[in-house]
């Protein structure tokens, strides 16, 4: 989870409630978005209302948080846990906030946003915690766990950047990409030597290079 002090994420104890820490990442996100909006390189791509909507899982669902976000003008798309029949006596504001959130998550846009959240976040969490074996760490102290988690997630984010730039996000994949470019270079060299020594000697040589990543 995002944390204003560290800027990226924070570790929680099992007794911590997600609803208690919901506003902290929103504040951290707002501060970072303000910095991006002030920078000339990214000012044009920042929306005028960057925190207009919030999409989270059902662990963050509570009457108080829905009311707080509604008062801040933020539209919520929070999955609602099964709680049975609710008693809304003297709780009109909470009822309206819960019903509005329920109506949004049942709509087409709400389902699309929750699906995107599952693809973009849950898969990353599964990769870090299950494949990366971060579900259980043998460290003492909250601060040491957070440091370990930050390094682990930083490596994961670096792999995403490498995959975007080079097409490969792992050392093994990058090694295979290096071999591919080396084979292409050798093939181009042989083609050039054949053209210079063969019947096409003295004529213009046409060498075809591999397209860049992302181009067809």
Mean pLDDT of 9-36: 68
Note the pLDDT of residue 1: 45
Distance of alpha carbon 62 from alpha carbon 59, whole angstroms: 8
Note the pLDDT of residue 198: 59
What DSSP assignment string belongs to 169-214? -SHHHHHHHHHHHHHHHHHHHHHHHHHHHSTTTTS----PPPPPTT
Quick one: tokens of 178? 């290096």
pLDDT in tens, 58-110: 888 888 889 988 888 889 999 999 888 889 999 999 999 999 999 999 999 99
**Chain centroid to CA 28:** 15
Q: Is the pLDDT of residue 50 over 70?
A: yes
Residue 92 or residue 180, greater confidence: 92
What burial letters (b/e) apply to 121-145, b meaning 16+ CB within 10 Å? eeeeeeebeeeeebeeeeeeeeeee
Note the pLDDT of residue 208: 53
Note the pLDDT of residue 8: 46
Q: Is the pLDDT of residue 2 over 50?
A: no
Pick from 205, 209, 183: which is nearest to 195 by CA? Answer: 205
**Mean pLDDT score of the chain:** 77
Extents of the domains making up the chain = 171-206
Predicted TM-score (pTM) of the model is 0.63
Give the Cα-Cα-Cα angle 138, 139, 144 (nearest 5 degrees).
150
Distance of alpha carbon 173 from alpha carbon 187, whole angstroms: 21
Mean pLDDT of 116-144: 81
Asked if 1 and 12 touch (Cβ cutoff 8 Å), the reply is yes
Note the pLDDT of residue 17: 54
Distance of alpha carbon 27 from alpha carbon 170, whole angstroms: 33
Asked if 79 and 105 touch (Cβ cutoff 8 Å), the reply is yes
Q: Tell me the percentage of the chain whose pLDDT exceeds 70.
A: 74
Note the pLDDT of residue 199: 57
């Amino acid at each position: 989870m995002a944390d204003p002090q560290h800027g990226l994420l924070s570790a929680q104890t099992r007794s911590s409630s997600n609803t208690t820490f919901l506003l902290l990442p929103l504040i951290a996100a707002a501060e970072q978005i303000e910095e991006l909006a002030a920078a000339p390189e990214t000012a044009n791509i920042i929306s005028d209302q960057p925190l207009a909507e919030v999409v989270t899982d059902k662990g963050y669902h509570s009457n108080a948080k829905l009311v707080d976000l509604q008062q801040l003008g933020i539209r919520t798309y929070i999955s609602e846990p099964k709680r049975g029949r609710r008693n809304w006596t003297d709780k009109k504001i909470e009822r309206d906030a819960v019903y509005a959130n329920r109506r949004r998550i049942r709509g087409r846009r709400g389902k699309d946003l929750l699906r995107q959240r599952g693809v973009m976040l849950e898969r990353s969490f599964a990769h870090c915690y299950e494949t990366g074996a971060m579900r259980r760490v043998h460290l003492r102290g909250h601060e040491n766990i957070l440091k370990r988690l930050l390094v682990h997630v930083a490596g994961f984010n670096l792999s995403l950047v490498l995959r975007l730039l080079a097409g490969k996000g792992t050392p093994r994949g990058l090694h295979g990409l290096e071999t591919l470019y080396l084979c292409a270079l050798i093939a181009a060299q042989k083609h050039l030597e054949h053209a210079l020594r063969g019947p096409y000697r003295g004529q213009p040589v046409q060498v075809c290079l591999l397209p860049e990543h992302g181009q067809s």
